[in-house]
C-alpha cells in the first residue's frame, strides 16, 4: 500500500513538472507563451536593397509583436556568413534565416536554375507567380533532406551586364570576354554560347575581382550594381533583363519545428510582412538605383532595342533544349505559364 502511494506521488510530481515545461513557463518551448529567443538572419547584400528592407520589416514586426521576447539580428554584407558558408551554417542551425539568390542552390537541385533561364520572366510578378505556384513550392521544399526549407520567395529583379572592355549591343560583342556569375550550369552555358568565359565568384569578393581584372564583367540587378558601386570598376553597362536575381527565405526545419504555436504564429506573420515589403520594394529600389547609376555617370549605358533583345533571345534559345532534361519539361511549362507565354 505504502509503495503504491509513493509511486502515485512520484507520478503526480512528474506530471506537474512536465506541465511547467521545466524551462521557465511562458519563455520555454513547452509553455504556451511566446518563447524567448534570438534569431539570426544573414545575407550578402548591402542595406539599401529589397532583401535587407524585407529582413528589416520582418525584424520590426517580430520584435514588436513578441514584446521583445524575440530578438532578430540581421547581418548584411556577408558580415556573418558569405556565399561560401551560409548554407552549411543554416544546416547546422548557426543561423536561422538566409535568403540567397536561388541560382546558388543549383548544386543541390538543378531546378533552382529557373531564374537563369534566358528571357523567361519579364518582371517580378511573373517570377513571383512561378515560385508561389505548385512547381515553385515543390522546388523550395526540395532541400528537406538537409533539414532546410524555402519558406517564401523574395524578388530582386532582372539582371544587366556590366564590363570594363567595350559596349555590348549584340551577342557577338561578348566574344572573348570573361564574366563572373552567381554560379550554376545555365549561367555558365549562357556565356559559353556567346563565346565568352565565366567564373563563379562569391558576391562579397566581386568588387575586388572586377577591380583587379580577374573577370572583365558581371551580370546583376541595378540595385546590387549601385549599392556595391560596381560601376566604379566597370566602364560599360547593357540594360538586358536576360536573367534574374530571385531569392527565397530559407530556414532550418529543426529550428522551425522547435517553436511553439504562439511563437511560430508571430515569426510566420513577421515573415509575411517581410515578404510584402520585399516584393513591394524590389521594383522601386531597382528603378531608383538605375537613376543613381545614370547620375553617377561612371559607366556608358546601352539600352537594347527590342530588335537587339530579339537577337540575344535567338542566340540563347539552344539553352532551353540543352537543360530540358535536367530541369524538367514540367518546370519549363509551369514557368512559361507563370510568364503568360
- Chosen residue from 81, 105, 203, 222 binding ligand LMR by CB under 6 A: 203
Contact flag: residue 45 with ligand LMR (CB under 6 A):
yes
One of 52, 62, 95, 101 touching ligand LMR (CB under 6 A): 101
Please state, as a whole number, how many other Cβ atoms lie within 10 Å of the Cβ of residue 219. Answer: 27
From the list 152, 163, 182, 251, which residue makes contact with ligand LMR (rule: CB under 6 A)? 182
Q: DSSP 3-state assignment of 68?
A: coil
Of positions 162, 224, 227, 251, contacts ligand LMR by CB under 6 A: 224
Which one, 207 or 269, has the nearer CB to ligand LMR?
Answer: 207
Q: Which of residues 44, 127, 267, 331 is near ligand LMR by CB under 6 A?
A: 44
Q: How far apart are CA 148 and CA 41, in angstroms?
A: 14
When the beta carbons of 37 and 225 are compared against ligand LMR, the nearer one is 225
CB neighbours of 283 closer than 8 A, spacing ≥ 6? 123, 124, 157
Least distance to ligand LMR, CB of residue 203, Å: 3
Residue 112 lies near ligand LMR (rule: CB under 6 A) = no
Per the CB < 8 A criterion, the answer to whether 305 and 92 are in contact is no
Query: Taking the complex as a whole, how short is the minimal distance between the CB of residue 201 and ligand LMR, in angstroms?
Result: 8
How far apart CA 222 and CA 301 sit, in angstroms, is 12
Q: How far is the CB of 245 from ligand LMR (least distance, A)?
A: 5
Please give the radius of gyration of the chain, using alpha carbons only, rounded to the nearest integer: 23
Q: Binding of ligand LMR at residue 162 (CB under 6 A)?
A: no
Residue 220 lies near ligand LMR (rule: CB under 6 A):
yes
Q: CB 206 → ligand LMR: shortest distance, Å? A: 7
What beta strand segments (E) does the chain contain? Answer: 37-42, 70-75, 97-98, 148-158, 160-163, 178-181, 197-200, 217-220, 236-239, 244-252, 300-303
Task: Count other Cβ atoms within 10 Å, centred on residue 1.
Answer: 5
> Based on CB atoms, which residue is closest to ligand LMR, 45 or 335?
45
β-pair type (244-252, 148-158): antiparallel
302 binds ligand LMR (CB under 6 A): no
Which of the residues 254 through 273 are near ligand LMR (CB under 6 A)? none
User: How near is the Cβ of 9 to ligand LMR at its closest, in Å?
Assistant: 59
Interior angle at CA 112, CA 190 and CA 270, nearest 5:
130
Contact residues toward ligand LMR (CB under 6 A) are 44-45, 101, 156, 182, 203, 220, 224, 245
Amino acid at each position: 500500500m505504502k509503495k503504491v502511494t509513493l509511486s502515485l506521488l512520484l507520478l503526480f510530481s512528474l506530471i506537474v513538472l512536465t506541465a511547467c515545461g521545466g524551462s521557465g513557463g511562458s519563455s520555454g518551448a513547452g509553455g504556451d507563451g511566446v518563447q524567448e529567443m534570438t534569431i539570426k538572419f544573414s545575407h550578402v547584400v548591402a542595406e539599401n536593397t529589397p532583401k535587407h528592407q524585407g529582413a528589416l520589416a520582418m525584424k520590426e514586426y517580430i520584435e514588436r509583436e513578441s514584446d521583445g521576447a524575440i530578438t532578430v539580428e540581421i547581418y548584411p554584407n556577408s558580415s556573418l556568413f558569405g556565399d561560401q558558408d551560409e548554407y552549411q551554417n543554416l544546416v547546422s542551425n548557426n543561423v536561422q534565416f538566409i535568403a540567397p539568390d536561388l541560382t546558388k542552390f543549383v548544386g543541390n537541385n538543378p531546378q533552382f536554375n529557373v531564374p537563369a533561364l534566358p528571357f523567361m520572366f519579364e518582371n517580378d510578378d511573373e517570377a513571383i507567380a512561378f515560385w508561389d505556384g505548385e512547381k515553385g513550392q515543390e522546388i523550395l521544399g526540395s532541400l528537406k533532406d538537409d533539414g532546410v526549407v524555402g519558406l517564401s520567395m523574395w524578388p530582386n529583379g532582372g539582371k544587366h551586364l556590366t564590363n570594363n572592355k567595350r559596349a555590348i549591343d549584340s551577342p557577338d560583342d561578348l566574344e572573348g570576354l570573361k564574366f563572373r556569375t552567381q554560379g550554376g550550369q545555365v549561367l555558365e552555358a549562357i556565356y559559353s554560347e556567346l563565346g565568352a568565359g565565366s567564373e563563379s565568384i562569391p558576391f562579397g569578393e566581386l568588387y575586388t575581382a572586377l577591380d583587379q581584372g580577374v573577370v572583365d564583367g558581371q551580370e546583376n540587378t541595378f540595385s546590387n550594381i549601385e549599392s556595391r558601386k560596381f560601376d566604379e570598376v566597370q566602364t560599360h553597362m547593357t540594360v538586358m533583363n536576360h536573367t534574374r536575381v530571385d531569392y527565397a527565405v530559407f530556414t532550418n526545419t529543426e529550428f522551425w519545428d522547435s517553436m511553439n504555436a504562439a511563437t511560430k504564429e508571430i515569426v510566420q506573420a513577421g515573415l509575411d510582412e517581410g515578404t510584402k515589403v520585399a516584393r513591394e520594394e524590389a521594383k522601386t529600389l531597382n528603378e531608383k538605383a538605375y537613376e543613381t547609376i545614370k547620375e553617377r555617370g561612371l559607366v556608358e549605358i546601352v539600352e537594347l532595342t527590342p530588335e537587339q533583345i530579339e537577337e540575344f533571345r535567338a542566340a540563347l534559345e539552344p539553352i532551353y533544349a540543352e537543360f530540358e532534361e535536367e530541369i524538367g519539361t514540367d518546370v519549363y511549362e509551369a514557368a512559361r505559364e507563370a510568364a503568360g507565354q
